[in-house]
Chain A
Amino acid sequence: NAGVTQTPKFRILKIGQSMTLQCAQDMNHNYMYWYRQDPGMGLKLIYYSVGAGITDKGEVPNGYNVSRSTTEDFPLRLELAAPSQTSVYFCAIRPGGGELFFGEGSRLTVL
C-alpha cells in the first residue's frame, strides 16, 4: 500500500444532501485521481490533479468538485446528491512511473 487513505468507507446520503469524500496521501506525490465504479462496471475518471493548486476534469465530472490546496489532500465534493451518484469512489496516486495505487474505496449510497 503506497499510503492512500480514504474516508469515510461507507456513507448513506439523502437526495439533495452534500458531502465531501476525503483522500490523503503521505508520500508527497503530485498525481492524484478520483474514480467512480458503479456496480459491476468499470472505472470512470471524475477529476485528477497534477500538483497542488492544479486540477482538471476527467470523463464524468458533472455533479462533483475538487480542490488541491496541499500536496497531501485531494477531497471530492458532492453537491446536491442524486441516486445516480450511488457508487464506489476510489482515490488513487501515481508516483510517477505509471502505476496507480488505489485507496480502499468509499461506498456511497444516495436514497
Chain B
Amino acid sequence: GENVEQHPSTLSVQEGDSAVIKCTYSDSASNYFPWYKQELGKRPQLIIDIRSNVGEKKDQRIAVTLNKTAKHFSLHITETQPEDSAVYFCAPLLPAGNMLTFGGGTRLMVKP
C-alpha cells in the first residue's frame, strides 16, 4: 500500500495565525488527495479534497495545494480560530485503489 507521512505531528499556533500541514506520499499514481478533521471524541470528517488535475483548491479559510512532482500536498488554514483545534489526517488514494492508508495525523492547537 501507499506510504503516507504527515508533518508536523503537532502544531501550536496563536489565534489568527496561519497553519500549514504537509502530507507526503509514495505512489505517483495517486489521484485523489483529501484532508479529514477529527475533533476530540468524534469521527473523522472530510473538510477539503483535491484531484490530480488541479493544483489548488480553496474553501473559505482552508485550502489544499498539490505538488505532484514532489509527491506532497498541504493543508492551509488561515485566520485560525479555537474551533480549528483538532487532529487532521490525509489519505491519498490511487485510481482504482481500494486500500486507504491514513497519515499519522497532526494535532493542531489554536491558542486564544
Surface stretch bound by A, among B20-28, B40-48, B60-68: B40-48
Contact surface of B with A, Cβ cutoff 8 Å: 1, 32, 34, 36, 43-46, 49, 89, 91, 93, 98-105
Can you list 22 contacts pairing A with B, beta carbon distance less than 8 Å?
A41-B105, A42-B89, A42-B103, A42-B105, A43-B44, A43-B89, A43-B105, A44-B102, A45-B99, A45-B100, A45-B102, A48-B98, A56-B98, A59-B1, A90-B43, A94-B100, A98-B32, A98-B49, A100-B36, A100-B44, A100-B46, A100-B100
CB nearest neighbor in B for A107: B41
Contacts A45-B99, A99-B49 given; indicate if A105 touches B43 (C-beta within 8 A). Answer: yes
Residue A104 interfacial (CB < 8 Å): yes
A24-55 near B? 1/0 per residue, CB < 8 Å: 00000001010100000111110010100000
Can you list the 5 inter-chain pairs with the closest CB atoms, starting with the nearest?
A98-B32, A102-B43, A43-B102, A42-B105, A42-B104
Residues of B within 8 A of A44 (CB): 102
Residues of B within 8 A of A98 (CB): 32, 34, 49, 93
| Tally of A-B Cβ pairs under 8 angstroms | 50
Interface of chain B: mostly helix, strand, loop or mixed = loop
CB pair B105–A33 under 8 Å, yes or no, is no
> Complex Cα distance A42/B101, Å?
10
Residues of A within 8 A of B46 (CB): 99-100
Chain A, interface size category, equals: 20 to 34
Residue A75 interfacial (CB < 8 Å): no
Which of A31, A100, A102 is the one whose CB lies under 8 Å from B98? A31
> Complex Cα distance A90/B35, Å?
17
Which of A42, A56, A99, A102 is the one whose CB lies under 8 Å from B34? A99
Q: Shortest beta-carbon distance, B92 to chain A, in Å?
A: 10
10 more A-B residue pairs beyond the given contacts A59-B101, A100-B44, with a C-beta to C-beta distance below 8 A: A33-B100, A43-B44, A43-B105, A50-B98, A56-B98, A90-B43, A98-B34, A98-B49, A102-B45, A103-B43
CB pair A48–B100 under 8 Å, yes or no, is yes
